[in-house]
Amino acid sequence: MKRFSFLMLMFALLGFVACEQDKPLPDAQDGLVLSADVESITADGMSVANFTVKLNNEVVTSDCYIYNVESGEPLSGSFFTSTTEGRYSFYATRGSMKSNTVVIDVLAAGETPAEKVAVLSVSKSEIISNGTDAAIFVVSVDNEDVTNDAKIYLESSNQPLEGNSFTTTEEGTYKFFAEVEGAKRSQSVTVVAKAEPVVEEKPIELSASVDTIRANGVDAVAFTVKQEGNIVTDACTIYVDGAKLNGSRFSTYAAGTYTFYAVKGSVTSNEVVVTAEEVTDTGKTVLFAEGVSIASGWYDVNKKDKGNNGDINMCWAATAANMIQWWQDRYVAAGNELPAGAVTGPGVTSYTNYGPYELELMSMFHSEWNNDRGCQVVEAIPWYFEGVNYGESASAGSQAYPLTAGGYWKDVWRDIYPNLYHDYNYMFYWYKNLYTGSFLAWTGWDEACSDSATLRGTDAYVAFSRRVIEFLERGVSELTISTNPNGGTSHATTLWGCEYDNATGLVTRIWITDSDDLEYGPKQSLLNEYTVSALDGNYRVALKGNTRYGEAYAMELQPLSGYGSGVANN
């Protein structure tokens, strides 16, 4: 009875082991690794592939079974030999663990294993010999990218490239090959370097804003160059009587006739003749924006008391309101009707106990902008008309920003734009070619708008005068002032008019309105007069007047073209 029980127990155990081995094993694990000492053997029954099994880098071959996938049977040891050609796969098990799979090729007698071959490919077979255009190489073995482990050679020099790209400044045909350890050298790949294709320049046309100027060193002619209808002035060099002109504007103290032409690449434009007339008038001219005089036509939005209405930082909004209302007046005076929704007229919105502003446009800015910082008039104006926010590029928290989309004239602006002068090519940064812009004292008021001031003292005064006269002839302008000759806190005002010397073209007086010229209410509209003079050694211009400040200094001009100003200049 005991013997029978023992035999039954043995059979049960054998059955248990068989059942355990019939269970599907998990996929190969990192711990159990099968490897072979060769990748192929010969089908002669003597060539041998020896296997090794490791568990966590410790050899455990003797404790494992190694299975032939094709037969499903375990090997009788840790080696494999065969007399039948083919490809055989193997894996190892240890308990419930299963290794990776290893493939052994059994080759016919005399046959050698296929070599691994590097394959070289290139992104393009033709490049421009400009030292920049590049051919990019990729090396692969058995469809695996091994570029980082490969060396790519230029055949003519037998020197490896630095990296996997090739550029050159020499025309010619270049051949390359790649080498990777453990693989046969790649095939050759050809790259042809060609000269930069010559693109024939289209004709260019030079035009001048006027054909006559005064020879006073300030009155100027502005040039525009077009190519196939596009303005390409910045890409051209303009010559006057054969000498290179600095920029695209010309003024002179010498009376006479001057001939101009432009060059772009290999193309030369038509010639334009401009006459500079001798100045005999020794008097002065008073120039106000269209529709404005000392007595009327100007606006003066004021802050409430000392700005404790929440508008202490809103000098930019008061100035923008003045300028926009003037612009809308010009539009109506030209026989047009304002679009539905346009904000216009005296203020009707009241804030707490302060009453309405002088213009409802100021109320709009008060409601539709965050006002805990200052801002730029040149950003407020496009926002109002078009719904464009150029302030998005400003550093976060550095200035006020709109809370609404604006764009009160957006639906009709396409028809408005051609009627505005918008060729301020010398304007600061992104304001180029707009109907409004920014012109800075710290560029020396120079048309080049360089990063550092190039004009100082009298030269800066001359350039400033030229800007003031031009902007008032085109429309109206913001004037940023400071009470510190070396800069500091800036304050926006509205420039309405100027007086200039006919002989020199220098501005001698200006008239502005200022939202801060009265500290306390009740406030009234005032037109402030300042005399203008050069500031020795400084790129700013000095202003003096019987005003709240007494002395101030010009920092920036931000013009706005009036409606109709662009018609005669396109």
Specify the DSSP element, H or E, that contains 536: none
Decide if 4 is inside a domain: no
The closest of 80, 89, 140, 141 to 114, measured between CA atoms, is 141
Domains of the chain: total = 4
- Work out the angle between the directed axes of helices 377-386 and 315-333 (0-180°, nearest 10): 50
**Strand, coil or helix: 363:** helix
Same domain, 245 and 369: no
Same domain, 249 and 347: no
The closest of 494, 503, 546, 411 to 215, measured between CA atoms, is 503
Same domain, 559 and 484: yes
Same domain, 439 and 475: yes
Whether the model clears a pTM of 0.75, i.e. scores above it, the answer is no
Decide if 2 is inside a domain: no
Same domain, 261 and 305: no
pLDDT value of position 395: 61
Same domain, 101 and 127: no
From 167, 194, 221, the end of a domain falls on 194
Residue position matching structure tokens 């202490």: 312
pLDDT value of position 392: 65
Question: In this structure, what CATH number is given to the domain that contains residue 235?
Answer: 2.60.40.10
Decide if 113 is inside a domain: no
pLDDT value of position 463: 84
Query: What pLDDT tens digit does each residue of the chain (570 aa) get?
Result: 333 333 333 333 333 333 333 333 334 445 799 999 888 899 888 889 999 999 988 999 999 999 999 889 999 999 999 999 888 999 999 988 999 999 898 988 777 666 788 999 999 999 999 999 999 999 998 888 999 999 999 998 878 999 999 999 999 999 999 999 888 899 999 999 999 887 788 999 999 988 999 888 777 888 999 999 998 998 999 999 999 998 888 988 899 999 999 999 889 999 999 999 988 877 899 999 999 999 999 999 999 888 878 899 999 999 999 999 999 999 999 999 999 999 999 999 998 888 899 999 999 999 999 888 888 898 999 999 999 887 766 666 678 889 999 999 999 999 998 899 876 655 544 455 578 877 776 665 655 444 445 678 888 888 899 889 989 999 999 999 998 887 777 899 999 999 999 888 899 999 999 999 988 878 899 999 999 999 888 888 999 998 888 899 999 999 999 999 875 443
From 107, 134, 161, the end of a domain falls on 107
Decide if 264 is inside a domain: yes
Decide if 412 is inside a domain: yes
pLDDT value of position 567: 57
- Burial, 492: exposed, middle or buried (Cβ in 10 Å; 0-12, 13-18, 19+)? buried
Contacts of 555 (CB under 8 A, 6+ apart): 440, 441, 480, 481, 482, 487, 490, 540
- Burial, 207: exposed, middle or buried (Cβ in 10 Å; 0-12, 13-18, 19+)? middle
- Burial, 30: exposed, middle or buried (Cβ in 10 Å; 0-12, 13-18, 19+)? exposed
From 107, 131, 165, the end of a domain falls on 107
Same domain, 334 and 230: no
CA 340 to chain CA centroid, nearest Å: 36
Specify the DSSP element, H or E, that contains 469: helix 457-474
CB 392 within 8 A of CB 406: no
pLDDT value of position 570: 39
Same domain, 102 and 124: no
Specify the DSSP element, H or E, that contains 280: none
**Strand, coil or helix: 480:** strand
Same domain, 338 and 237: no
Decide if 236 is inside a domain: yes
Residue position matching structure tokens 């001048």: 208
Beta bridge partners of 556: 440, 480
Same domain, 215 and 321: no
Same domain, 183 and 238: no
Contacts of 6 (CB under 8 A, 6+ apart): none
Query: Range of 89's domain?
Result: 24-107
Torsion from C-alpha of 101, 106, 107, 109, nearest 10 degrees: 150
Question: In this structure, what CATH number is given to the domain that contains residue 162?
Answer: 2.60.40.1080
- Centre a 10 Å sphere on the Cβ of residue 14 and count the other Cβ atoms it contains: 10
Decide if 389 is inside a domain: yes
Same domain, 387 and 245: no
Decide if 494 is inside a domain: yes
